Amino acid sequence: MMSLLVQMLIKNKDEVSNPSVKKAYATLSSVVGIVLNLFLCTAKIVIGLLSHSVSISADGFNNLSDAGTNLVSLLGFKIARYGGGSTHPFGHGRIEWIMGIFASIAVLLMGIKLAGTSIDAISNPQEQIFSVGVVIVLVLSIIVKFYMYYYNKQFAKITDSETLKATATDCVSDSIATIAVLVSTIISHFTQFEIDGYCGVLVSIFIIFAGVKSLWEVLGRIMGKAADEETKDVILKMVEAHPEIIAVHNLMLHDYGFGYFVVSMRAEGYRKDSEQLYTGVNQISYELYQKFHCDCFIQIDYLLEDEALTHDLTEQVCSVMKKYSDEIKINNFRLIENGFFINITFDMVYPAELQKREEEIRKDVSDRLMSENPRYHIIIKGIIRRERFSLHR
């Protein structure tokens, strides 16, 4: 069904790097999710009331909360479709993340409410009415939810949407919860042991867990996550086509939601190759725009070719750092031309216990080098147990 809808409703469906195509996939997923969840909600609540089963009714209200989540996500997707303007030059894609927070909180509250209802059912159990219709509805729900998991997972990969990733995870939780309800219904019918309320609590736990997981993933995206290795590899291959670029540092992907991001990096080479460097970085910017529809900012740094000075300064930095710890490492040490000045820049990789002394170490190193030559500008990047990503030849 989804393949047919994609064919009918999404133009240029294969251009998955295009932000507008990503948004079309996300919107379609939300609309179909609303329809399917409302269908399951109606069927389960009706069956739950007729069979006096609180766990089936709870599962139905869970589907209602899922429909509400899809509706909120759809609103977020709609707002995210607006492009950049003077107030928000990078677009509105991050609105989806904010909507994801509200949706996750709604799921949490629904799970807590249903847990209370289920506990009441344990205290005051009601005899369930078993029928073939109950089994059919629950089995159908399991099939539908697994199908929803499948297409949400596929669309999440296309759109890189945290909301759709969370929705796919929630679909798995819903399927497991419904299986628990089905088992509860069958056991209660054949053993006369009322475990309906207990299964309702189990369903509630699944709902709460899904809400917490969804909230955590959205918050993680807002706090910032590293670029995926696939995208980095694509960028590096573009760089490797230009041998005049000696190294790349500070490669960053600034994520603004729905596939729109800004690439920034520092490309290093020698002044003698300045013309080729300028042409190369402009070509890379154009290729990135063609492939990802993104903006790109590349700063060219001209390396200073002086091996003796580089070795001497490296030794001085190491001697200062040894006073603090032998575990401090220096990576990517380089000298960069800066007019009258010389930029001395490197990565300082240090153990976590020295984090509070990072500024002290920086100042100590800077004072040592600048006492020798006030023309030095010291740029130190502190890294805790993690090496900077870079390209060398």
Query: In the numeric block, which tokens belong to residue 322?
Result: 């040894």
Confirm if 154 and 167 have CB atoms less than 8 A apart. Answer: no
C-alpha 322, offset from chain centre: 39
CATH superfamily, domain 307-392, is Cation efflux protein, cytoplasmic domain (3.30.70.1350)
CA angle 179, 182, 185 (to 5 degrees): 150
* Tens digits of residue pLDDT in 187-241: 777 776 767 677 778 777 877 887 788 788 778 777 777 667 888 889 999 999 9
What is the Cα–Cα distance from 117 to 111, expressed in whole angstroms? 10
Q: 299: part of which helix (H) or strand (E)?
A: strand 295-302
Q: What is the pLDDT of residue 316?
A: 94
What is the Cα–Cα distance from 337 to 341, expressed in whole angstroms? 7
Q: What is the pLDDT of residue 129?
A: 61
Return the closest-CA partner of residue 271 out of 310, 243, 240, 304: 304
User: Which SS3 state, helix, strand or coil, does residue 203 take?
Assistant: helix
DSSP state for residue 255 in the 8-state scheme: E
Confirm if 367 and 332 have CB atoms less than 8 A apart. Answer: no
CATH fold of 229-302: Alpha-Beta Plaits (3.30.70)
What is the Cα–Cα distance from 97 to 73, expressed in whole angstroms? 9
**Whether the domain at 229-302 and the domain at 307-392 fall into the same CATH topology:** yes
What is the Cα–Cα distance from 266 to 153, expressed in whole angstroms? 35
What is the Cα–Cα distance from 384 to 357, expressed in whole angstroms? 12
Give me the residues of the chain with pLDDT under 50, please: 387-393
What is the Cα–Cα distance from 283 to 222, expressed in whole angstroms? 31
Put the strands of the sheet holding 329-338 in their side by side order.
329-338, 341-350, 376-384
Q: What is the pLDDT of residue 348?
A: 93
Confirm if 135 and 182 have CB atoms less than 8 A apart. Answer: yes
What is the Cα–Cα distance from 32 to 71, expressed in whole angstroms? 10
Q: Supply the pTM of this predicted model.
A: 0.63
CATH superfamily, domain 2-223, is Cation efflux protein transmembrane domain (1.20.1510.10)
Confirm if 59 and 184 have CB atoms less than 8 A apart. Answer: no
Please report, as a single letter, which amino acid is at residue 374.
Answer: P
Please report, as a single letter, which amino acid is at residue 40.
Answer: L
Q: What is the pLDDT of residue 130?
A: 63
For the chain, which residues make up each domain, given as ranges? 2-223, 229-302, 307-392
Strands 261-269 and 376-384 turn out to be unpaired
